[in-house]
Amino acid sequence: MNLLALGLVLAAAVAHAVWNLAAKKAGAGGVPFVWLASVCSAVLLAPLGIWGVLGSGGHWLPWLLGGAVSGVLHTGYFVLLQRGYAQGDISVVYPLARGTGPALSVLLALLVLGERPGWPAVLGAAVVVGGVVLIGLSGSTPTPAKRPSRLGAGVLYGVLTGFTIAAYTLWDAHSVTSAGLAVFPISLMWGSALAEVLLLAPFALRSGGTTGSRVRSVWSQNRREVLIVATVSPLAYVLVLFALQLAPVAMVAPARELSVVFVTLAGAFLLHEAEPRKRLIGAGIVVAGVALIAVS
């Protein structure tokens, strides 16, 4: 993999782990939390987003199409992920989502986009997915009363989130690389955030019985987490979008799963979630897989 692309992916992995830990802390925030983060992201990204569109000659149609579809897919991703964090362990939901997503991304990149990475990259992708799944399954030993239901919810939401990851990865890669649709990465992220704001507004503002009451409550209780997600989440993904302009989806999608290693460590040692030894072994396997991709 291109060294610059690898560096972008590594930076994105750290940022991705940071905002997911913030989202986990605000797990009960639900749709209002996701909407508030999207609003803040849209505001913060606006100057660079507009600059990117104007720099392309003012071609608004590719931006509108790319951002609208991306926004729909990212909305599904954030809602499912936040719901999973509210009902399951982060070290089950997150690894299963991140394992299912790249596995499907690689498969579809080969079948749909016609990418042909070398065998070391394909093997590395398979190793990454295996390590991620091992991390997720390491939480499968039910221990007290609520454990079975939390495990089931974590697995369900993790897998569903993985499907949305594959969908938005392929669409966004197409949006920033296609000759007929090429969109500046930051502009695409801004358009996606605007679409999320519009899609979630009716649900966020009507939650909690009184219009806006739930939103005000979530903002009051989780302001710091909202701002972390609003700033660090788009930063992480913009880095990935730039990497996708330098390397194939089939290499970038699995390599960014290094974030699983950081989240696994935090889940085991900061949140004191179960089976740290198995999860650390899985994390080591993920690192080995990314190393294979890096040298391919």
Q: What confidence tens digit (pLDDT) does each residue in 19-64 have?
A: 878 887 876 678 889 899 999 999 999 999 999 888 877 678 888 9
Token readout for 293 is: 């991709």
Alpha-carbon 248 to chain mean position: 18
Residues with Cβ within 8 Å of 141's Cβ and at least 6 positions away in sequence, in order, are: 147, 274, 275
Greater confidence (137 vs 185) lies with: 185
- Residue 95 confidence class, pLDDT cut points 50, 70, 90: confident
Task: Give the pLDDT mean for 283-292.
Answer: 78
Task: Domain ranges for the chain, please list them.
Answer: 3-295
Q: Under DSSP, is residue 117 helix (H, G, I), strand (E, B) or coil?
A: coil
What is the structure's pLDDT at 72? 94
Q: Kindly state the DSSP code that residue 144 receives in the 8-state scheme.
A: S
Closest CA relative to residue 81, chosen from 141, 34, 11, 139: 34
Query: Distances from the Cα of 75 to the Cαs of 132, 226, 282, in angstroms?
Result: 24, 15, 29
CA distance 48 to 197: 18
What is the structure's pLDDT at 211? 55
Q: Is the pLDDT of residue 275 over 60?
A: yes
- Residue 100 confidence class, pLDDT cut points 50, 70, 90: confident
CA distance 105 to 84: 21
Amino acid found at 71 = G
pTM for this structure? 0.77
Residues with Cβ within 8 Å of 75's Cβ and at least 6 positions away in sequence, in order, are: 34, 195, 196, 199, 200
CA distance 192 to 39: 11
